[in-house]
Amino acid sequence: MIIESEALNQSVTGEKRWVTTFMADIVGSTELTEKLGPEKTFMLVKDLLTRIASVVTEYGGRNISFAGDNTFAIFGAPVAMEQSSIQAARAAQAAMALVREAAPAYLKSHGVEPQIRIGLAGGEVLVAQMGITGEESLNALGSAVNLTARIQAAAAPGQILCSEAVRAELEGFVATDFAQQVSLKGFEGKNQLFSVGALVKDQTSLGGRMARSKTAFVGRDNQVAALREWLLDDAPTATLMCVSGPAGMGKSRLVRHVADQLEGGPSVVFAYTASEDQSAVLRPVVSLIRDAAGQTTAKNRDQLTEWIRQNLVSGATPRDALVDLLMGVASHNNNTDGYSADALREQLVTILVSLLARPDLRLVIEDTHWLDAISRQVLTQALQRAPAGSRLLVTSRTTDDLDAPAQAAISLEPLSSGEVTQLVRSALPDLANDEAIIQLLTRRCEGNPLFAEEIMRHLKTAHKESGAGTLSETSIGSIQNLIFTRFDRLSPEDKHLLKQLAVVGRLIRRDHLVWFAGTDEKADQIAEGAIENGLVERAPGTLHWRFAHVLIRDAIVASIPDMDLPAFHADAANVIQSTQVARRDDLAPALARHLDLAGKPEEAIGFYLTVARSHWRVYALDEAWAVFERIREMIAESSFRVPDHILADFIVSYCKVLDISGKYETVIDVSEQFLAALQEQSDKAALSHLLTLKAKAQSELLQWDDALETAEAALKIADEIGDDDSAARAKIAKMHLLNESFLGDFAEIQQLFAETESYANSGKDPHLALERLYVMTSCFRRTGNVPKAMATANEMLQYGESHDDRHAYAYGYWTRASVHAMLEHHDDTMSDCQESLKYSIPGTLDHFTANVFLRGTKIAIGAPETTNEELEATYESLMNSSEFAVAVLLGWYSAGLHILSGRLREGWHRLEKLEVVMENGLDRGLLAQYWLKKAELLLTIRGLLPPTVKPPRMSLSNLVFGMRLRFGAIAMVKEIISHLDQKMGYTDGFQFARLLVFQGLIDKAERRKPQARERLQRAVEIFSRCGAKFHETQTRELLAKL
């Protein structure tokens, strides 16, 4: 029987710290016992280990354990030290020296000269109090502990060996040499070990750059002047200014220093970006606009709406979703989800353009290297549209976060030795004449403002205590140890509270600190202590604070044991919900993350749903998908029952995002995973909706029979529960699959179109309303009713106008372009594609499809702007993501480009490969278009149809191949006509007229001129009725030549 110990469920009262581990072993203790006997050996070992322990303590280490003939110690915890590895190396050298010096005495007293070997390793360990028998003692656990034992065992008598991590810390301060490369038990691969020698004076670069300096601002005169001039210039040449440099070079401090000098000038609005913002869509942009609005009278919804109106194009109405977003509340209209995202983004861009151009305002975004993708797109669009005189100031580790037509950069490099000297003298006037101290500090800080500041704090402390400045001849050490030398000065209670605040985030809100501290007085006391120790700084222009650098916050969080983190995250969620209720929706990302990490999925899921809908609202589909996937994982991993309404909301919302993202296989996977759960619910509306989305996905994957069965099931459920909306959704999905497959006829599709009109016009589901119009346009286009196809496409544009829906414009214009492309009205096609691109969001299917039609048209007119390699790469990508229809278009364009370039053989073989794909199933409209275009190509090669572009020059082999096609062209065209007659059954319309032309040309070739004339004349009449000007003109010219 296994009994679970209570200790397994207790939290850990300790911290994770980067430490240097030290293990010393007495060589040959077994032989010593044989020679001296156990009693004398015991006294010898005790004396040796006591001496070594004293050395460890002398150099700041902590003795952890003694076992047999060895001792184990750590440097850097429980109280941090800046030089843990160097101090450990010095202790090891001192221990070796001590044993050597004591050897003659041991030889005299015991008849032996004992030797030791020492191993050093570095890494993260858990340092905690452990009580086994009631008495607690400090213990350290982690791979670094085990590694130290292995290294010590590999050392020779009298040798100190260290790991590669420790060698990196010692470089430049302690001599090290490669000793051996060995396999160590419990560790993968080969481990390089280094022998540790004597302390040296020369120092190399510290490399890592951390936080910003807090002392006198020196060494940046040129950068200050350049930034000030740009900020105050009435007509700056650069729209974007980027202050760049490694972490810790003082980018933010430079900006604030200059901003403080603008008192009485333009107002400065800051937005801060943190690492977690990479998954928090638009947070920095929204924060920037909010704060800009906050400098006006925009204090409530009506005032904010009016402020937005003033910053939009004259006459534009602020979107409710935008007002919701800026207020940080849930959308007032849950049916808008992602469908008005392009309009929302457009208004965000317009507001930013307005703010960037204001002469009385300067916008600043710090750390843009953490920007999310959507913020990056919105800011880039704003910069590209911004008028002359606009400006945006950013700080970043790189200079290519944003793209602006005109941009400039100010680069911050490490401080020079002269600048560091100036810094020291300004901060420590009492030590201004101590050249030795100044030179030592200048050499050791190596240009990093933070390290200079930290060293000067040590000097200040020593000067206060003794009236003199002292500085040990050692290095700063690891970044974490540097932070914890400050952190460990705080009381245990204050340290715990700062850990909690670090878990909440980099910004330390005053209400959060008061909530944890209990009183305003205690909160101020804690904040002042953290400021005094360089851990925290005031957040400019607010009542709040923030960790002085993101690495400080990260190091503090990293010190919390994994077992304790859930409780910290639970408290983080509590403080957010208790103090910031007014913006609950805006805080959903933080609450979802904290509750998830706190192990409370039942609470986290609701907030994650809010986050996903927020992403969906601005068309951040990849981000929404990632959040939905996390919810899916949580449901699968948890034993609790998700409330029916939340489960239904999640499943339907997720599948809608997957549908619009083109992830059709995942729609089917999700629907099959949760279908049984929805079948158990009393409300069947969600079940009908899910089946509708599944039917649409099956249709897109060409699973026609399954799709029809699923759509019928969705429609049956909707009818049973009397839900007209669900029925309409199912009917539109059925329209889609009937149009693309051979399972339905025109009359049935038209009937479903009429039956869903009321739902489409209700505005409840804009995407589905547009999908309905698109399907009907496609149906008219497929059957050759060009006037109806064009009129229905125009309805999509009218929907956009009446509903203020930019997506409708993007969708409608490329849909109309597809009709123009069929008619070979190339100018109209390109014009509509350009309009679609203007209204669509880059990266969306609308934007991509418009680009595809535009590229195809350029090929058709003989002016390609792409290559076969680019077309084929995109083709493969689309096929892999099941976007078959657009993939086939690209395959056709690739074949056309080969032929246009004189590579007839390659072009024809590309068409044959395309036919293999099409045999597996494709929507019938595209199938018909493919066969019609192939017939036109054959008749052109045969010389019966005139070429639309200048024929290319071809190689001899391509000419021979062309002759073979020419001889077989008529026979192949007859097969195509027969195939289309059987499959499509055209009796009128544009496609029928094209078949008449093909048959007429064959009649002409086979000397049946009366029949040819009759067919061509009839085709002219149909083309004229369809408004197909190109085909009408071409056919009239063919008639004239009979």
Same domain, 195 and 82: yes
pLDDT at 294: 78
What whole-number distance in Å separates Cα of residue 280 and Cα of residue 738? 40
pLDDT at 166: 86
pLDDT at 457: 54
What does the block give as tokens for 447? 């240009």
What whole-number distance in Å separates Cα of residue 324 and Cα of residue 457? 47
For residue 205, pLDDT beyond 70: no
pLDDT at 7: 41
Measured CA distances, 783 to 343, 776, 819, 989, 991 (Å): 34, 11, 12, 7, 7
- Out of 802, 831, 862, a domain closes at 862
Q: pLDDT tens-digit profile of 833-863? A: 999 999 988 878 889 899 999 999 999 898 8
* pLDDT grade for 333, boundaries at 50, 70 and 90: low
pLDDT at 329: 65
For residue 905, pLDDT beyond 90: yes
- Out of 517, 545, 560, a domain closes at 560
What whole-number distance in Å separates Cα of residue 817 and Cα of residue 241? 40
pLDDT at 216: 47
Residue among 470, 438, 413, 461 at smallest CA distance from 205: 413
440 or 108: which leads in pLDDT = 108
Pick the range with the lowest mean pLDDT from 240-254, 353-367, 384-398.
240-254
Burial class of residue 241, CB neighbours in 10 A (0-12, 13-18, 19+): buried
For residue 976, pLDDT beyond 60: yes
pLDDT at 206: 29
Q: pLDDT tens-digit profile of 921-967? A: 677 888 888 899 999 999 999 999 998 888 888 899 999 999 999 99
Residue among 763, 844, 758, 759 at smallest CA distance from 804: 763
Contact between 427 and 441 under an 8 Å Cβ cutoff? The reply is no
Question: Is 793 within a domain?
Answer: yes
Question: Is 311 within a domain?
Answer: yes
Residue among 741, 665, 656, 740 at smallest CA distance from 698: 665
For residue 5, pLDDT beyond 60: no
What whole-number distance in Å separates Cα of residue 145 and Cα of residue 692? 58
Percent of the chain surpassing pLDDT 70: 88
* Whether pTM exceeds 0.85: no
CA 474 to chain centre: 41
882 or 679: which leads in pLDDT = 679
Question: Is 216 within a domain?
Answer: no
Question: Is 592 within a domain?
Answer: no
For residue 572, pLDDT beyond 60: yes
Same domain, 447 and 339: no
pLDDT at 763: 83
Percent of the chain surpassing pLDDT 90: 45
Partners of 547 in the β-ladder = 536
CA atoms within 13 A on the CB side of 724: 8
* pLDDT grade for 265, boundaries at 50, 70 and 90: confident
pLDDT at 570: 96
* pLDDT grade for 253, boundaries at 50, 70 and 90: confident
Contact between 990 and 782 under an 8 Å Cβ cutoff? The reply is no
Same domain, 469 and 348: no
pLDDT at 6: 43
Contact between 479 and 485 under an 8 Å Cβ cutoff? The reply is no
Same domain, 39 and 176: yes
pLDDT at 446: 54
pLDDT at 754: 95
Question: Is 640 within a domain?
Answer: no
Same domain, 301 and 379: yes
pLDDT at 825: 95
What whole-number distance in Å separates Cα of residue 104 and Cα of residue 693? 88
Q: pLDDT tens-digit profile of 369-428? A: 889 889 999 999 999 999 999 999 999 988 787 888 888 899 887 777 777 777 777 777
- Out of 560, 589, 604, a domain closes at 560
Residue among 930, 923, 925 at smallest CA distance from 701: 923
In the predicted model, what is the mean pLDDT of residues 489-495? Answer: 89
For residue 875, pLDDT beyond 50: yes
φ, ψ of residue 760 in degrees (nearest 5): -60, -35
Q: pLDDT tens-digit profile of 136-175? A: 567 788 888 889 999 999 999 999 999 988 887 787 678 8
Measured CA distances, 33 to 37, 129, 884 (Å): 5, 34, 81
Residue 359 sits in a domain of what CATH number? 3.40.50
Residue 835 sits in a domain of what CATH number? 1.25.40
For residue 188, pLDDT beyond 60: yes
Pick the range with the lowest mean pLDDT from 243-247, 746-750, 986-990.
243-247
Q: Work out the mean pLDDT of the chain and round it to a whole number.
A: 85
Question: Is 626 within a domain?
Answer: no
Same domain, 453 and 389: no
For residue 217, pLDDT beyond 90: no
SS3 label, residue 965: helix
Residue 551 sits in a domain of what CATH number? 1.10.10
Same domain, 313 and 380: yes
What does the block give as tokens for 689? 């909706």
Same domain, 468 and 523: no
pLDDT at 8: 38
Contact between 549 and 534 under an 8 Å Cβ cutoff? The reply is no
pLDDT at 299: 64
For residue 723, pLDDT beyond 60: yes
What whole-number distance in Å separates Cα of residue 252 and Cα of residue 255? 5
Same domain, 194 and 227: no
pLDDT at 683: 92
What does the block give as tokens for 423? 């810094």
Q: pLDDT tens-digit profile of 981-1025? A: 888 888 899 999 999 999 999 999 999 999 999 999 999 999 999
Same domain, 400 and 296: yes
φ, ψ of residue 139 in degrees (nearest 5): -135, 160
pLDDT at 135: 52
Contact between 651 and 673 under an 8 Å Cβ cutoff? The reply is no
For residue 476, pLDDT beyond 60: no
In the predicted model, what is the mean pLDDT of residues 353-367? Answer: 93
Q: pLDDT tens-digit profile of 64-108? A: 888 778 899 998 888 777 678 888 999 999 999 999 998 888 888
In the predicted model, what is the mean pLDDT of residues 781-802? Answer: 94
- The tally of domains found in the chain comes to 5
Domain range enclosing 536? 484-560
Same domain, 439 and 519: no
* pLDDT grade for 218, boundaries at 50, 70 and 90: low
pLDDT at 830: 96
Partners of 176 in the β-ladder = 196
Question: Is 645 within a domain?
Answer: no
Same domain, 355 and 442: no
Give residue for tokens 């030089």: 83
For residue 436, pLDDT beyond 90: no
pLDDT at 391: 93
pLDDT at 581: 61
φ, ψ of residue 74 in degrees (nearest 5): -130, 150
For residue 434, pLDDT beyond 80: no
Contact between 420 and 442 under an 8 Å Cβ cutoff? The reply is yes
Pick the range with the lowest mean pLDDT from 327-341, 375-389, 515-529.
327-341
Q: pLDDT tens-digit profile of 586-641? A: 788 999 999 999 999 999 999 999 999 888 888 888 889 999 999 999 998 888 88
Partners of 74 in the β-ladder = 21, 62
What is the 8-class DSSP label of residue 11? P
